[in-house]
Amino acid sequence: MYFFDLGDYYSYGFAPNSWNQTGISGVGVGCAGGLAPVDWGDYFTTARATSDAFFKSVIDWFRASASSGYTESIDVGCSPSYLDLWVDYIEKKIIWQSTRYELDKTIFLYVANYEYLSQDPIFKNAHPTYEDYFEFAYNTYDQLTGTTVGTRNEPINPFPPTQFSAVSITYDFGTSFENSDLITRMTDDENALKEMMCSIKNMWSVIDGDTFDELVVDDDGNFLPNSGYTYNMI
């Protein structure tokens, strides 16, 4: 089980069309239980800590399961090599971490936050327009816009001594922060997370022979009968 999905801490479930609604639970500490910036900060911090622990466990598992023969195809022309499986996971991990970072660095800028917070007359007096709020949020919460190039150090070779390689990444934080843009951000994060988890499950299936019964969840967070879909397709 992993708990670095932001949806784990959101009471409306991980439905992209509900992220601009009020009603936050979990580790949130906002007294009104809404889209308060302090809630988002806690969510990202908690999710980041749990994902770091999870990724370390994946490396430890791979080292123990694949041994030194990981570069050899287990079935030439059919199954991927252990190294191919690992690299696919790292590539999808980078994509997901990039989408999560872009969300983390823009989450306070969206109109949805202002619409919720402006219900408080004191806040409304301090920030009479969304533009006022945007400037405040941008400067106060270290938010970003536009594009920038960064690097990530990733364990391309998972065996000791672990070889980390610097991977160049172009982050696109965007220039529009309407509620529809927030939904797109959340959807991108959800899809990238599913792709990464599917890649990990592929490794577990090929190397350990694991099988998975996936549960399909609708937009309201209700579990549906297993439809045979893979996690990646839900």
Indicate left, alpha or beta for 174 from its phi (over 0: left) and psi (-120 to 50: alpha). left
Distances (CA, A) of 215 to 78, 198, 230: 28, 13, 9
User: Average pLDDT of 171-189?
Assistant: 92
Asked if residue 181 is part of any domain, the answer here is yes
Indicate left, alpha or beta for 221 from its phi (over 0: left) and psi (-120 to 50: alpha). left
Q: pLDDT over 70 for what percent of the chain?
A: 70
pLDDT confidence tier of residue 2, bands split at 50, 70 and 90: low
Asked if residue 147 is part of any domain, the answer here is yes
Residue 148 near residue 171, CB atoms below 8 Å: yes
Helix pair angle (37-66, 82-104), 10° resolution: 170
Q: Which amino acid is at 73?
A: S
Asked if residue 135 is part of any domain, the answer here is no
Asked if residue 21 is part of any domain, the answer here is yes
Number of domains in the chain: 1
Output the CA torsion 27→45→143→22 (10° steps).
Answer: -20
Residue 145: what pLDDT?
A: 98
Q: How many CB atoms lie within 10 A of CB 197?
A: 19
Range of the domain at 192: 6-104+141-233
pLDDT of 9 strictly over 70? no
pTM beyond 0.85:
no
User: Average pLDDT of 82-104?
Assistant: 92
pLDDT of 229 strictly over 60? no
Rounded distance between C-alpha atoms, residue 4 and residue 36, angstroms: 20
Residue owning tokens 């007359």: 121
Asked if residue 198 is part of any domain, the answer here is yes
Asked if residue 132 is part of any domain, the answer here is no
Asked if residue 119 is part of any domain, the answer here is no
- pLDDT tens-digit profile of 19-66? 545 443 433 333 334 455 557 777 888 888 889 999 999 998 888 887
- The 3-state DSSP class for residue 45 equals helix
Asked if residue 129 is part of any domain, the answer here is no
pLDDT averaged over the chain? 77
Residue 103: what pLDDT?
A: 93
- pLDDT tens-digit profile of 113-126? 888 888 888 989 99
